[in-house]
Structures are given as C-alpha cells and as structure tokens.
Structure 1
Amino acid sequence: MPEATLVLLVLVVGAALIFDYINGFHDTANAIATCVSTRAISVRGAIFMAAGLNFLGAMISTKVAATIGKGIVDASSITQMVVLAGILGAIIWNLITWYYGLPSSSSHAIIGGLVGSVIAHAGVGALHWAGLKKIITVLIVSPIVGAFFGFVFMVAMFWIFRNTAPYGLNKNFRKLQIVSAAVMAFSHGTADAQKSMGVITMALVSYGTLATFEVPTWVKIGCAVAMALGTAAGGWRIIKTVGHDFVKLQPIHGFCVETASAGVILGASAMGLPTSTTHVITSAILGVGLSKRISAVNWMVAYRIVTAWIITIPAAATVGYLGYIILNPFLGR
C-alpha cells in the first residue's frame, strides 16, 4: 500500500480516538448530571464511576458499530480522506456545542460528518439511503420514547409513594439513584463508543487491512479507553445545562430519568440500533418535568437544546463536506 495511504489511515484512527475522547467529556452529563445535581454522589465519585462503566459498556457488543460502519456507505467504496473529513466534521461541531454548553448529539455529529464527506467524494448517490433512513429514524424516535417513559415512570412513582413523606423518600432514592446512574453510564458505553469503533473499522476495510467488517479487539479497547478518559475529564458546561438549568430535580426524579433512559438505550443497543444518549436523557428529563407541571421546565433552555438537535446533522455534514474539499487536494490519494 502507498505510504501516503498508510499515513491517512493513522490519521483516521487518531482522529476517531480523539472524537471518542471528546465524546466522553461532551457526553459525561448524560450519565452523571442528574445524580450530581441532586447530590446523590460527589462530582469526583460520579465522574470516575461513569468512566469505568463507560469502558465496560463499550466492550460488551459491536452491533451498533456494524450499523454505523455499514449502514451509511460501503467501506470498500470510499477513501481514507472521506472518513477523516467526516470525523473532523463531528469533532469541530462537538467542540462548538460543548463551548456553548449545548447537549447536542455526538451520534448526530458523526453521522452528519460522514454524510457530508461522502457527498463531497462521490455524490448523494453513494449513500445507503435505506440504512441511513433506519439510523435517522431511530435517532428521532428514541427521544420521544425516552420522554414517554420518563413521564410514565414518574407518574407511577408519584402514585406508589403518594403517602410517603418527601424527606424520607428522597433520602432513600438518593441511594437508589447511584445505582441508576451506574446503569446509565454503562448504557452510554454500549452506545456511544461503538460509533468510533464503526468508523475505525470502516477505515480498515477501506485500506484493505480487513477483508470483512469485523471490529478488531484492539479497536474495541482503544475506543473504550478513549471514551473512559474523556468521561474522566468531565464536561462541566453541559452538566450545568442538563442537571441544573433545564429542570430542577430531586433524587426520585433523577432515578426515574436515569432508569428510563438506560432502558431505552440498552434496548436499542441490543438490537444494534444507534441512539443518541444525549437526546434520550434530556427527553426523559423533559418527561419527568412535565409530570410535575409545565412550568417546571425551563423552556428557554429547551429551545436551545432542540435547536442544537435540529441543526447538528446538517451543520456537521457541512463541516465534513468542506473538510473533504479543502484537505483532499493535499492529503487525498
């Protein structure tokens, strides 16, 4: 293989691991914002718990990785430059939304970035529309399901414990919330680290290192470690938005949010369906907030979150497209 192509492969792997690291601190809030905001666990304890369980979750399965790696475009029909530009589009958009404290979706960002770079390389016709439709449909439907279960779960808790004093109830649920946060962190690993696994494996197939799409062990470990390290770095801006500014939560609310979210994410991951952990948990928070009263939701924050959701795929696609156009004359082969 040409030396320049090998250099591009190394750049792709490095960029994918950087994306995974950024994804870790960008999405730390998904697993720990609610338990930090309710003071169920210390910030340091929550972060290290989330980091460890993110790692374990990332090592469990590769079904989501296969969906990402094969569902958007044939790995054998693209170049390393396409994958690199797509990853850079996702990284840049993630950093922008992190800077402004917006819990946007890293899943949407990587899909958008890859779509943009593929279009720049081979046109719209190169995309797998059936697979892309499936991926985007799941990403749209999963937050709705998260909001529904968050609402229903919270209403059920209100009814079951309607005669219990609030102080004692929250004291007990503060302990239970640590368990639900741990499950949420594990589910985050099963979903988000696998996007990078899929991208790296796509690049390896494109290069010719792999004859078929099968995630190597070293890719699993590398992505799991990068995600865990990023999680340990924290994501304070987004934690504040999700855990404090959106809806004021008590331990019982946080327990319902995390349990409902983890259930949706783990169910989807078991079927190989890529969800946005960011969308699912913020939607579950919305559902829990609405179960109290409409005014419990900070609708200005909700507006900012939804705006970020809507523009993430086209914005990341635009950056991925421009990245390919700019870099391909210098690095492409």
Structure 2
Amino acid sequence: MQTLDRDLGRVNSLETAALYSSRPLLGVGISVVFIGLAALFAGLWSGTPPTSLFIVVAAGLGAYMALNIGANDVANNMGPAVGAKALSMVGAIAIAAICESAGALLAGGDVVSTISKGIIDPAGLAGGHTFIWAMMAALLSAALWVNLATWVGAPVSTTHSVVGGVMGAGIAAAGLGAVSWPTMGAIAASWVISPVLGGAIAAAVLAFIKWQIIYQEDKIAAARKWVPILIGLMAAAFGAYLALKGIKKIVKIDIGTALLIGAGIGAAATALSTPFVRRQSVGLENRNKSLKVLFRLPLVMSAALLSFAHGANDVANAVGPLAAIVHAQEAGDIAAKVSIPLWVMVIGALGISFGLVLFGPKLIRMVGNQITKLNPMRAYCVALSAAVTVIVASWLGLPVSSTHIAVGGVFGVGFFREWHAERRSRRLSGTRPESLRLPSEERKRRKLVRRSHFLTIIAAWVITVPAAALMSAFWFYLLTSLLG
C-alpha cells in the first residue's frame, strides 16, 4: 500500500511538473492564434488579394507588437503597486487590461506620424513598395527586440524600439541623409533625461514623506494633513496629462489650459480625500506600518490612471507603422500624418491585454520586487514622479519614455534609501557607518538596489535604438531581395 502511495505521489508530481512546463507553450499557442485571427480580420476588412496581402501581413506583425507591449511596457505601470502589495498579480493584470484598452479605444490618438516622430523623410521612401517594406521591417524588428528584452527580463521602451526600427529601415532604403539627426539627438538625450528626472522626483517625494510624515512625533496627524495634499498633487498631474494628451480627439488643449484643468482637479481631489483619509486613520497606531494603509487606495488609483494614460498615448506609436501601411495601400500615397482606423486600435488594445495576461507577470515582478523593496509609500512616489515628469517633459517639449521614467523612479527611490541609510548610520555612530566597516562583499550584499538588474536595464536602454535599427535594416534587405 505504501508503495502504491509513493507511486501515485510520483505520478502526481510528474503531472504537476508537466502542467507547469506547458504554461509557456500555452501562452505561445494563444499568441499565435491571436496573431492569425488579427491577420484574418484585417484581410476580411480590407478587401481581396493582392491589395490586402500587405495589410494582412502587417496586421499580424502589429498584433505581435501589441502582445510584446503588454508583456513588457505595461509592467512599468503595475509593477510598483504589486511590489508594494497594494494589488495582487491577478488584480493588477485585470485593472491594467481594462484601463489600457479603455485608454487606447476611448482616448487614443486619432492621428499618428507615419515616420515615428519625424525621424525619416518620407520622400526618400516613395519608390514602389519601398515605404511598405520599410514599415514592415520596422514593425517586425521592434517587436522582436521587445520580445527579446522581455525574455531576458529588461523593461525597455517600445516607442524607442519603433523609432530604431524606422531609422534602420530608412537608412537601408534611402541612406544616412534620410534621417533627421537632430530629432534622433533629442531622442538619445531622453535616454538620460527620462530616468534621471523620474528618479530625482521620486527621491524628492520620498524625502518629503519621510521628513514631513514618518519622522514626525505624531505620524497619524501629519498623515491627515499631507496625504490629501499628495493625493491632490497626483490628481492634478494626471488631470493635466490627460487633458493635454488624452482628449485631443475632442479638443486641442495647450499646456497652460491643461495645467489650469489639472489644478482644478487637484483641488477637488484634495477636498474630497481629506475626510476619506481622516476616516481611514481612525484607530491607527502611531507607527510607520499604519501609514501604509493610507497610501494603498491612492496607489491603486494611480496605477489605473497610468495604464489609461499609457493606452491613450503609447499604443498609437506602436501601431503607427501598421496605420502607415494601411494608408499607403488604401490611398496610394505617403502622408506625414495618417488617421488610425478603429480596427487597428482594436488589434492594439486586445493585443496588449493578451500580452499582459500571458507574459506580463515576469516584468511586473522584476519592476515591483527585484530592483528594490517597495512599500505603498515608495511605490506612490514612483507613480507621482511618472505623472509629474511627463507633464514637465511635455512642457519642455522633450521626447521622453514612460518606461524609462517609471523604472528610473524605482531606481531613484532605491538609491535614495541607500544614501539615507548611510547618512543615518553615520550620524548615529559619529564615525564611519557600520556598512563601511564591513568587507566589500558584505557591503555589496546589503545594497538596497540590486546592481545586476541596474546594469542589465541600463545596457538594454542604451542598445535599444541601435539594436532595433540593425535588425530592421537586415529585415528590409531580406524582404526587398526576396519579395521586392
């Protein structure tokens, strides 16, 4: 009988292991089915071959790109909330899928630059099917690069991947002179500006919370005063951001009007949240652990708003090459700006949702747990810095990446914690802090930011554009030589 029990146990373990190992294959299978359905839908929508053949293939590539956006880019919005345990993984995926799709379909840009922010002169790609091959190569290379980055666990910018893809195909088709190098210089500058600005703002907000709330004698009283103001600041930032970017389908709003709208929304949010925070704080003990309760709901709301804003803006950039191909096939010309058909946005929105559900948890855990330890207060600093940084960048006219900002905010919080811990240790001991008296290996082990992840992510950011460009040039030469 015992032998039978052991055998049944082994069979059960084998079945469990087989089920676990089949998970990736299930995700790949669902992805392949979705790509095929997207291509079929595009074919039925666009007409009969051979006119629709390019659109069918491009729709499949666009669906593949959208899957990768969901697997990689969306993790930056939900990672901090999951890492802070304000949201479960299932809850985060559900909220992100709904908000990303809503942002793309309800407030997504109705016009997109076919040349990805003007980095390539369309006149150089006007011969025959050259422009279509270039956009296909750009879409394929960007999707492959984001897929590779997700596999190695590096959050990268999908917008920069598309930029690199378009640049590489443009150079392959029309030479170096087709590239707007000042625009590329601004994009390269954003590699530094985005994470540094996001990290600096996140660290500054965390410092403010520490000195105005955590280190106060009556922490709960201080939280009742400042938490509604912080919620109002978050609401103001998102209100201005969505007014500036999210409702451009309805009305064009300049930065000054957007800031006024944001200020009004922020004031209303502060007034409404004051009694809510007061009720939540009743009966809480005067300790740091109690403060986490007051930041949990605002953090969940900010994660949802970040996802909505991401869907409203970045999805259009990702499906831009697909929209350009559709326009070139249907209108027979190349335009600087084209309308995005609804079915293209639907493919983008659904693809993001499927990619997030099937492959998103890996990057969500990376951003939320593996860079530095987050709690609701630290994660709130990251979300607030992301919203404020995008507003500042829009005001200054800087092309920034939401991925770089969010991950930079996580790094900023972690490095500030390291600096602050060393400072407190030095002040309390009156001499060299204990960590500095330890062996070098032990000091590395006690760092609050994992250096291996830091170096991997920075390297991935630096090589995103050139890697996508090289891959795109390769695919362009291959497509034109075989099919052109």
User: Given the two structures, how large is their TM-score scaled by the length of structure 2?
Assistant: 0.63
- Alpha-carbon distance, 1:140 to partner: 3.8
The answer for unaligned runs of 5 or more in structure 1 is: none
1:326 maps to which residue?
478
- Deviations along 1:267-320, one digit per CA (max 9) or x if unpaired, are 657998653222111100111112212432112211111011111111111111
> 1:126 deviation in Å?
1.5
Q: What does 1:169-248 align with in structure 2 at a 5 Å threshold?
A: 169-209=291-331, 212=335, 213-218=337-342, 219-248=344-373
* Separation in structure 2 between the aligned mates of residue 57 and residue 269 of structure 1, nearest angstrom: 19
Name which of 186, 190, 202 aligns with 1:150.
Answer: 202
Q: How does 1:27-46 map to 2 (within 5 A)?
A: 27-46=73-92
Match among 353, 374, 396 for residue 249 of structure 1: 374
The CA deviation at 1:80 is: 0.9
1:298 to 446, 450, 474: 450
What's the secondary structure of 1:71's corresponding residue? coil
Q: Which residue of 1 aligns with 2:118?
A: 71
| Greater CA drift, 86-95 or 258-267 | 258-267
User: For residues 36 and 2 of structure 1, do their structure 2 counterparts lie closer, same or farther at Cα, with a shift above 3 Å needed?
Assistant: closer
Inter-partner Cα distance in structure 1 for 2:89 and 2:188:
33
Structure showing greater radius of gyration is: 2
Task: Name the structure 2 match of 1:309.
Answer: 461
How far did 1:107 drift?
1.8
Confirm whether residue 141 of structure 1 aligns to residue 193 of structure 2. Answer: yes
Alignment root-mean-square deviation, CA: 2.7
Counterpart CA distance in 1 for 2:359 and 2:365 is 11
Give secondary structure in 2 for the equivalent of 1:8. Answer: helix
Amino acid paired to 1:224 = A
Indicate whether 1:47 and 2:97 are aligned: no
Runs of 4+ in 1 over 6 A off after TM superposition: 269-273
Q: CA deviation at 1:200?
A: 2.1
Q: CA offset at residue 100 of structure 1?
A: 1.1
Distance in 2 (alpha carbons) for counterparts of 1:299 and 1:84: 37
Deviation at residue 204 of structure 1 after TM alignment: 3.1
Cα drift, residue 191 of structure 1 = 3.2
Deviations along 1:151-206, one digit per CA (max 9) or x if unpaired, are 11111111221222211101221222111211221222233212123222322343
Residues 1:95 and 2:155 are matched in the alignment: no
Secondary structure (helix, strand or coil) at the match of 1:65 reads strand
Contact 2:82 2:92 in 1 (8 A): yes
Shift of residue 5, structure 1, vs aligned partner: 6.0
- Conservation of the 8 A alpha-carbon contact between 2:65 and 2:143: yes
Helix, strand or coil at the partner of 1:150: helix
* Range 75-84 or range 166-175, more displaced: 75-84
Aligned amino acid, residue 21 of structure 1: L
Look up the SS of the partner of 1:214 in the other structure: strand
Determine if contact 2:157/2:402 at 8 Å carries over to the other structure: yes
Deviation at 1:3, TM superposition (A): 5.4
Q: Cα–Cα, structure 1 residues 299 and 228, in superposed 2: closer, same or farther, change >3 Å? A: same
- The 8 Å contact of residues 193 and 223 in structure 1, kept in 2 or not, is answered as yes
8 Å Cα contact 1:56-1:189 kept in structure 2: yes
Deviates more, 1:315-324 or 1:186-195: 186-195
TM norm structure 1: 0.89
State the secondary structure of the residue aligned to 2:107: coil
1:41 partner SS: coil
C-alpha distance in 2 between matches for 1:116 and 1:83: 10
Residue 427 of structure 2 is aligned to residue 275 of structure 1 = no
Shift of 1:227: 2.2
Q: Take 1:198 and 1:268, find their aligned partners in 2: how far apart are those partners?
A: 22
1:112-162 C-alpha deviation (Å, 9 max, x unpaired): 122111111111112233433344434542222211111111111112212
**Structure 1 residue 247, shift from structure 2 partner:** 0.7
Moved more, 295-304 or 133-142: 133-142
Q: Which residue of 2 aligns with 1:111?
A: 163
Q: Kindly indicate whether the alpha-carbon contact (under 8 Å) linking 2:115 and 2:166 is maintained by their aligned counterparts in 1.
A: no
Distance 1:270 1:141, change over 3 A: same
Matched, 1:285 2:410: yes
Distance 1:123 1:195, change over 3 A: same
Partner of 1:17: 63
1:168 to 280, 285, 290: 290
Higher relative contact order (CA 8 A, sep 6+): 1
- The secondary structure found in structure 1 opposite 2:338 is coil
Deviations 1:36-66 (A, max 9, x none): 1121111111111011111222242428833
The question of whether the paired residues in 2 share the 8 Å contact of 1:25 and 1:231 is answered with yes
Matched to 2:134, the amino acid is: V
Q: Is the 8 A contact 2:96 2:304 kept in 1?
A: yes
